[in-house]
């Protein structure tokens, strides 16, 4: 069975309660449900993890090869700071799509720069939780096209 890894970083467990004007009212549980449903329609399974700890996210990325066809990753605040996560992404073959719910480019300047984007397959920003769904679709299409080539 083809699988995707859905990873969410710090404070995203607070979605629904956290700054609803910026992040909306939907909870992390609803995001996980959306991604699982999108994946199931194409015969994919999703494993979902949220962590507030950088090292735990590094551990999860390190074990992705051979286990997941790709990673949907909202690194939250670590986006802007983490060389460790960037190195972990570079160390694996599995493609990673970076997702942000809010439009980070319309916010504070420190959110404009991503340490991770240069080593990700792509980045989806500012379209709310639809970004997670589109990331799943892109990774599944990539897997399909590899399978048929």
Contact residues for ligand DQA (CB under 6 A)? 11, 74, 76-77, 79, 100-102, 104, 111
Please identify, using beta-carbon distances, which residue of 31 and 58 lies nearer to ligand DQA. 31
Report in angstroms how near the CB of residue 30 gets to ligand DQA at its nearest: 14
Report in angstroms how near the CB of residue 22 gets to ligand DQA at its nearest: 7
DSSP per-residue letters across 57-114: HHHHHHT-TTT-SEEEEE-GGGGGT-HHHHHHHHH-SS-EEEEESS-GGGS-GGGS--
Two tokens, residue 148: 């048929």
Report in angstroms how near the CB of residue 23 gets to ligand DQA at its nearest: 7
Confirm if 85 and 19 have CB atoms less than 8 A apart. Answer: no
Give 14's DSSP letter. Answer: G
Please identify, using beta-carbon distances, which residue of 2 and 11 lies nearer to ligand DQA. 11
99 DSSP β-pair partners: 124
């Amino acid at each position: 069975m083809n699988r995707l890894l859905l990873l969410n970083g710090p404070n995203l467990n607070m979605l629904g309660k956290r700054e609803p004007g910026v992040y909306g009212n939907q909870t992390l549980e609803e995001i996980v449900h959306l991604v699982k449903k999108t994946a199931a329609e194409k015969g994919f399974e999703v494993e979902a993890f949220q962590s507030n700890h950088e090292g735990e996210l590094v551990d999860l990325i390190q074990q992705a090869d051979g286990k997941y066809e790709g990673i949907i990753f909202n690194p939250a605040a670590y986006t802007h700071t983490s060389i460790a996560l960037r190195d972990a992404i570079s160390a694996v073959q599995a493609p990673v799509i970076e997702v942000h719910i809010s439009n980070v480019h319309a916010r504070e300047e420190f959110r404009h720069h991503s340490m991770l984007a240069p080593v990700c397959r792509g980045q989806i920003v500012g379209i709310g939780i639809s970004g997670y769904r589109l990331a799943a679709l892109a990774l599944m299409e990539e897997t399909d096209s590899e399978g048929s080539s």
